[in-house]
Structure 1
């Protein structure tokens, strides 16, 4: 009930600017599905299959990841064509150079019917929608997308996150209702704890003591001091993973707290200083991986499976399966002020701009019905797992890959979800691969500390979005550079006031006000 009450007050989240953009006022746009002259009606069915009685053809521009095989060879698209009577020709562009090819499509106005798995940014959606190259989808969704409509009713933050300031929806996202698919778990080496007769740490002070023991007491028993007490992905991933223990949240996809309806960008705050000082202490004492700012993603994943790491962070256990019994998930440790929050959590609407329909499309109704199937458990199962009996088997109603398709090499050949960004529903029903019992248990440790609502990044109008981008480009780069130096000890905390002053000169207050305006209009 609480969620539904929030939805009524925030159904137009991110209708956040007084600047009204031009563009189509129709909720459908495009050219209607019509039957060929002299043929029987080819009306789009609102439920069931086929979607149309006579086959139609759609061209879809899509990103193809290096790990993927051709989309036309994937069972989901082969089988779905037979079910739907919609024949799709994928125009595949590799990840490298994809953005440039996408830009060229719009610049030349040589548009496909649909952009699929194309990662349109909110700014691109507003720009190309207002310019008439993308059509509004809100009425199409209402009339021809029952699965997506149901999800938006249950999770009003979905509609809020994809609605433009003028009230249109130009692109739809991937949707993740599974909590464990929206968090990085905090994994700790249980075998080491047991050997050293230690308990799972409940506070940041206890975490420090455990990491010292991991460093000094040879928990892997090889007589060498080769343990890595704690590591994280390159960059400021460690900041994101520890911020909740210092009362620092990650709302709107940024370093933002919302306190008493006030937006606070916390990068120059004293709480952030405390967190960076704590991380500096860990780094200086070799409790935090010395390579945390330099190792590659592949090296980080290898450390997870090496058996030499005490604490690390990842969504699932795929990268350390051979030694998975050594690890367990833990709750966020309480910080010096008692804060205990899982600040890192993706919003329910994820992978923004995953699906959009262009003004060239002669079959907009069929196109929205085509994608809506994948926002159901049945459609998502087909997309992610392929054919029952051939690619997966059901156990207690849950699909599991057959052994030959359970690897990171074979999966990308049968499903576009491998490689990220595919528009579909990720629910508990379809997540056996990323949500095995160990991951479920780790998520349960985080659940009591998850935010009630995770606000997605605002859908600014184009003018405001450009202003935000300009401000953030400078502020984010500076924050990352200086935070890295603070943690690594290359910059003294005596320089903190200078750091704060520079953030102010970079107009962080102005950036904060833009987010405050967005929040205020969402709350109306």
Structure 2
């Protein structure tokens, strides 16, 4: 099923690179005569892997027929896209549009902004579905409004998007073996972890092979310290930023609760309740411990689902409820609400951008959203007589892969309103159904996430300079304080060092981007 792809080593000659790029790009049309057809346009998209072209069948093909357009889909593979993108953008000929945020990041669009056209007026004229959605849901406009006031890409809101991506899982079999209750408070968590450390929790006769807490999901240290409120947000640009109900933002690594949380984590590390190699091992070594060939040796870890984390040991683990901290509250990382941008960009070479947008406006319906996320009706999904939807079982059991093969999945225009997920029945034993079931234990404790804001080119340039030193310093000090301690003594000096690195400017850039986001919500 794999196609011949561009050899990354062959990039010295622009002519050679162009020819190879064209060879590696798959198309669902033959010959050049199609470009002369009326209502014909080209759309480039990027796929994680070569899963074939079934995702263009069913709904997408029917939408083309209904709109009376002929779309020439240019399909690139992610493994080659970085090289091909550079060649494509340096050349003279571009497709009419690019589909999917996998193709262009915010920084890409900022660099190549002159190659993409503003869409706001065209949306109003040609996209009644999206225009109606933007009026009802201001986030859909806010997330795509550039700092210059224009809209250069179309938004999405994914269906069945979990509120909590990474959550803690605990070995229930170990709890049962030791006669322990599920921990509810941070004191309970310490007591359970000590029992995991000191007793033969896995029952194999070895009292020293258990690891109470192991690295798993994003930022394991702040995940472990969650009882102290150390929540993080999705995405690198907003990772350490939090926002409260009053729309106030906080940079977690400078907050008092961060300091108190790391002091507590150090105490648990010193007691060997946390893997002593958590800062020195790579992800494959941590995975080898979680998925140990023999008995399970990990008590608690964080990640997407138990099967993804623990492999053959998954049946021993259950989602751990949110742990309350010293303030009596429980905190859980939130993962946003499925909003995204850069899902369709129209280039300056498109002859009829209005017609392209009119075609993609069909993607902003509930019927379209379920099909572009899981697969077309009767193949991967079913629309029931009462207006609800059923996602069909994958024939080979690979629920997620089946969805990627048969749909655009996470990429492309789509919209799931607030009540949409209640209309969808998923297979509970795999894929999204498994995750959504697992998150029920913790979702009520999820904290507001910092939104996916947009930065100006000048802001991006400054962030690229400032953030490197700040993030590196924060990570270095975090590891030091967890393993060696001393945070109280060094805290003031730490804050002063961050100020010298440009923390004030770093904060002001994020505050300005957040303020613009809130302003665009009100439009």
TM-score where L is the length of structure 1: 0.76
- Choose the corresponding residue for 1:220, options 193, 196, 202: 202
Task: Work out whether 1:280 is the aligned partner of 2:275.
Answer: no
Closer, same or farther: CA 341–441 of 1 in aligned 2, 3 Å: same
Q: Distance in 2 between matches of 1:255 and 1:356?
A: 29
Equivalent position of 2:354 in the other structure:
365
Equivalent position of 1:475 in the other structure:
470
Preserved CA contact (<8 Å) 1:381 1:430: no
Equivalent position of 2:112 in the other structure:
128
Shift of 1:96: 3.2
Q: What is the DSSP-based 3-state SS (H/G/I as helix, E as strand, rest coil) of the residue aligned with 2:143? A: helix
Closer, same or farther: CA 240–457 of 1 in aligned 2, 3 Å: farther
Q: What is the DSSP-based 3-state SS (H/G/I as helix, E as strand, rest coil) of the residue aligned with 2:478? A: helix
Q: Distance in 2 between matches of 1:474 and 1:421?
A: 33
List gaps (5 residues or longer) in structure 1. Answer: 1-53
CA RMSD of aligned residues (A): 3.4
Task: Work out whether 1:401 is the aligned partner of 2:386.
Answer: no
Q: Distance in 1 between matches of 2:435 and 2:347?
A: 40
Deviations 1:455-490 (A, max 9, x none): 423212222232233221221222223323333449
- Choose the corresponding residue for 1:413, options 405, 410, 418: 405
Q: What is the DSSP-based 3-state SS (H/G/I as helix, E as strand, rest coil) of the residue aligned with 2:203? A: coil
Equivalent position of 2:148 in the other structure:
166
Task: Work out whether 1:190 is the aligned partner of 2:172.
Answer: yes
Closer, same or farther: CA 193–372 of 1 in aligned 2, 3 Å: farther
Q: Distance in 1 between matches of 2:283 and 2:65?
A: 40
Closer, same or farther: CA 469–375 of 1 in aligned 2, 3 Å: farther
Deviations 1:117-139 (A, max 9, x none): 2443334334434x2x2112223
Q: Distance in 1 between matches of 2:132 and 2:312?
A: 40
Task: Work out whether 1:211 is the aligned partner of 2:193.
Answer: yes
Preserved CA contact (<8 Å) 1:157 1:348: no
Preserved CA contact (<8 Å) 1:357 1:364: yes
Q: Which has the higher contact order (CA 8 A, sep 6+)?
A: 1
Shift of 1:355: 1.9
Shift of 1:321: 7.5
Q: What is the DSSP-based 3-state SS (H/G/I as helix, E as strand, rest coil) of the residue aligned with 2:459? A: helix
Shift of 1:82: 4.4
Deviations 1:114-168 (A, max 9, x none): 1112443334334434x2x211222333344344445434442232122112322
Preserved CA contact (<8 Å) 1:179 1:443: no
Shift of 1:170: 0.7
- Choose the corresponding residue for 2:138, options 145, 152, 156: 156
Q: Distance in 2 between matches of 1:388 and 1:303?
A: 41
Task: Work out whether 1:463 is the aligned partner of 2:447.
Answer: no
Q: What is the DSSP-based 3-state SS (H/G/I as helix, E as strand, rest coil) of the residue aligned with 1:445? A: coil
Q: Distance in 1 between matches of 2:231 and 2:46?
A: 32
Stretch deviating more after TM superposition (457-466 or 506-515) = 457-466
Equivalent position of 2:18 in the other structure:
none
Q: Distance in 2 between matches of 1:318 and 1:141?
A: 43
Task: Work out whether 1:201 is the aligned partner of 2:186.
Answer: no
Preserved CA contact (<8 Å) 1:355 1:423: yes
Q: What is the DSSP-based 3-state SS (H/G/I as helix, E as strand, rest coil) of the residue aligned with 1:335? A: coil
Q: Distance in 1 between matches of 2:117 and 2:373?
A: 28
Shift of 1:187: 1.8
Equivalent position of 2:120 in the other structure:
138
